[in-house]
Structure 1
Amino acid sequence: MKRLWLLSVLILIITAGCSANAADGPKDGPGLYEQKCSACHGSDLKGAAAGPAVLNMKSKYTTDELEKLMLDGKGMMPGKLLTEEENKLVSEWLMTK
């Protein structure tokens, strides 16, 4: 019985730690990009193995078009990797690069 109680407490501690880490994630365009986009598009925005460069997006898209592209996905890029709020932060930041 003691083992079951200890196991339950340990699971609660681990679960609480995981949810706290998720809440502490980045809340700005650069941080979100680094966390969720840079693996495919590169930390330097110049593209990587799976994704194209995302520099000078302002010359290719409006902010609304970029938000829609990121929300829906395109080609190999899956959509809905970001919440709507995160999507807005990243797309606004990308428009300045």
Structure 2
Amino acid sequence: MKKKLLALLMGTSLVMGLAACGGGNDNTKDKGGGTETASAGDAQKIFDQKCSGCHGGDLTGGVGPNLTKVGATLSKDDILNVLKNGKGQMPANVVTGDDAEKVADWLAAKK
């Protein structure tokens, strides 16, 4: 009985963790009117929408690793590679395109 309960708990945790990492709005649709592109100062906002569910709003981690000093160990290109291909439990393409560039620049400066 304990093994079944543990398996159920672990499965639920995994599903909830992965669901949190993939959240955010789909900005690929044309909504008319204003533009949905982010300016250079919006990397924090993109991170908050797409990444903070796993990495925490303060970058200290949670389901995902701590990113407070990620720029000390990973370059912008390394961060872009993780965003594109995923790593560990992180799915690929959580952030894409120009948004990925902005978030990678912002995170690479965290040293």
Give the structure-1-normalised TM-score.
Answer: 0.70
User: 2:100 aligned with 1:95, yes or no?
Assistant: no
Matches within 5 A, 1:1-80: 20=31, 27=38, 28-48=42-62, 50-80=63-93
One-letter amino acid of the structure 2 residue matched with residue 65 of structure 1 = D
Cα distance in 2 between the residues matched to 1:26 and 1:44: 24
**Count of residue pairs the alignment pairs up:** 78
* The structure with more helix, counted as a fraction of residues: 1
Shift of 1:40: 0.2
Cα distance in 2 between the residues matched to 1:44 and 1:79: 22
Q: Residues 71 and 84 of structure 1 are in contact (CA less than 8 Å); yes or no, is this contact kept in structure 2?
A: no
Cα distance in 1 between the residues matched to 2:61 and 2:35: 27
Larger radius of gyration: 1
Q: Residues 83 and 96 of structure 2 are in contact (CA less than 8 Å); yes or no, is this contact kept in structure 1?
A: no
Q: Which runs of 5+ in 2 are unaligned?
A: 1-28
Runs of 4+ in 1 over 6 A off after TM superposition: none
Identity %: 31
